[in-house]
Amino acid sequence: MGDPTAEITRIMVALDATPAVIESALQASCQLLVSHHPMIFKPQKSVSTATTPGKSIHAAIRGGLAVASMHTNYDIACGGLNDLLSERLGLKACAPLQVTATQELAKLVVFVPQEHLDRVRAALFSHAESLGSYRDCSFSAMGEGTFTPLDGARPFIGAVGTLEKVPEYRLEVLLDRAKLPQALKSLVSAHPYEEPAYDIYPLHNRGTENGLGRIGSLPEATTLADYTRQVAAQLGAPGTRFVGDPATRIQKVALCSGSGTSVMHSAVRAGAHVLVTGDVKYHQAREAEDLGIALIDAGHFHTEIIMAEAVAARLRRILPDSGFDGCQVMVCKVETDPFRYLH
Ligand SMILES: [Zn+2]
């Protein structure tokens, strides 16, 4: 929400775009609030200050504050909220619990005269996929290319009407199919030929998987009671509850930030000993008992508020590289869990 042409110099990051958070962003002279939860969850028929989202929307527009909300994009993203939560809760070798999208890959093959090989390869590397922990992966082999320039051609090598034989490299790189248009643009501008010859092969190799929740393992097995204590301490969540025998052995852990009981069956299928999430309802707790999976409910707020510091740190890191020098990023300090606990 906001004016896409407005100048941004101060950004606030928060979990919720509540009226109190909007007020705090305006007090801090911010022009952009980056929130996890959006202001509008259900389609609205009116934007009235008699409703909570309406109050936020009116206050933000009045104060010239834009609001960008990430929500499930950030839940799912590689390096997003669930990866952050996995790291916080000590999980190793994490994978998505419910895959929502698999990256589609393609092989781009281009034929390049020898002296231009490095230049074309470098142009393609800025778009190419890494193989595990290896970037700048390519393959090239020498061969012979032939062509006869036709009338009207302006050949880089050879003359119109004469068959040319040229030593050329066959250069191959792996690409995300979504990045093909940009890669082809770079290829054409780096290649010396008027009409570079290239082929695009769709691949059946599986690309990176993105999805809801995460499944991973603890370095050492522990008990449900101990792990619940660790989760509560790591997230600073005073109201952490659990379902299951406190002595249950826990090593394989599934998690899903916020309201994540919808992934309970996936967690069971993946062999998880416990699902860490928030917003567990009574009948879901009963179902977990029946399915034989333990649950740890650390609360919606505490499994997600960790995003604020992390997103702010990431923005501070990437904004200068993206040409947004001098943008100040701050974390909202007024957010608290709406649930309180008696001690
Ligand atoms: Zn949430």
CATH code at 76-101+210-303: 3.40.1390.30
The residue count of the chain comes to 343
H helix or E strand, kind and range, residue 235: helix 224-235
302: phi then psi, degrees, rounded to nearest 5: -75, -25
Which residues are found with C-beta within 5 Å of the ion, ligand 1? 258, 304
- 8 close to 66: Cβ distance less than 8 angstroms: yes
Alpha carbon separation from 286 to 60, 261, 291 (Å, rounded): 42, 12, 9
* 10-69+305-331 has CATH 3.40.50.720 classification: no
Helix (H, G, I), strand (E, B) or coil at 157: coil
Neighbours of 90 (CB within 10 A): 17
Nearest to residue 341, comparing CAs of 301, 293, 291? 301
pTM over 0.75: yes
- 224 close to 185: Cβ distance less than 8 angstroms: no
Ligand 1 centroid, distance to 75 Cα (angstroms):
9
Ligand 1 centroid, distance to 300 Cα (angstroms):
6
Ligand 1 centroid, distance to 64 Cα (angstroms):
26
Strand stretches in 61-205, DSSP E: 66-69, 92-102, 105-113, 139-147, 164-176, 198-202
* CA 175 to chain centroid: 18
- Confidence class for position 47, pLDDT limits 50, 70, 90: very high
Decide if 10-69+305-331 and 104-202 have a common fold: no
Ligand 1 centroid, distance to 338 Cα (angstroms):
13
Ligand 1 centroid, distance to 157 Cα (angstroms):
60
pLDDT number for residue 129: 87
Ligand 1 centroid, distance to 27 Cα (angstroms):
25
The fold adopted by the segment(s) 104-202 is: Alpha-Beta Plaits (3.30.70)
- 193 close to 156: Cβ distance less than 8 angstroms: yes
H helix or E strand, kind and range, residue 85: helix 81-88
| 110-114, 152-156, 266-270, 330-334: range with lowest mean pLDDT | 152-156
H helix or E strand, kind and range, residue 76: helix 72-76
Ligand 1 centroid, distance to 16 Cα (angstroms):
9
Interacting residues of 15 by C-beta distance below 8 A, sequence separation 6+: 35, 36, 37, 301, 304, 305, 307, 308, 332, 335
85: phi then psi, degrees, rounded to nearest 5: -65, -40
DSSP state of 127: T
CA distance 43 to 39: 11
pLDDT number for residue 258: 97
- Confidence class for position 82, pLDDT limits 50, 70, 90: very high
Residue given tokens 């002595």 in the structure block: 247
Instruction: Name the average pLDDT for the chain.
Output: 95
User: Please, what is the angle between helix 52-63 and helix 19-27, to 10°?
Assistant: 20
- Confidence class for position 324, pLDDT limits 50, 70, 90: confident
Ligand 1 centroid, distance to 18 Cα (angstroms):
13
* Mean pLDDT on 160-168: 92
Ligand 1 centroid, distance to 2 Cα (angstroms):
22
Question: Tokens in use for 190?
Answer: 């780096």
Provide, rounded to the nearest whole percent, the portion of the chain with pLDDT above 90.
86
- 67 close to 39: Cβ distance less than 8 angstroms: yes
Ligand 1 centroid, distance to 130 Cα (angstroms):
32
Ligand 1 centroid, distance to 304 Cα (angstroms):
6
> Domain locations in the chain?
10-69+305-331, 76-101+210-303, 104-202
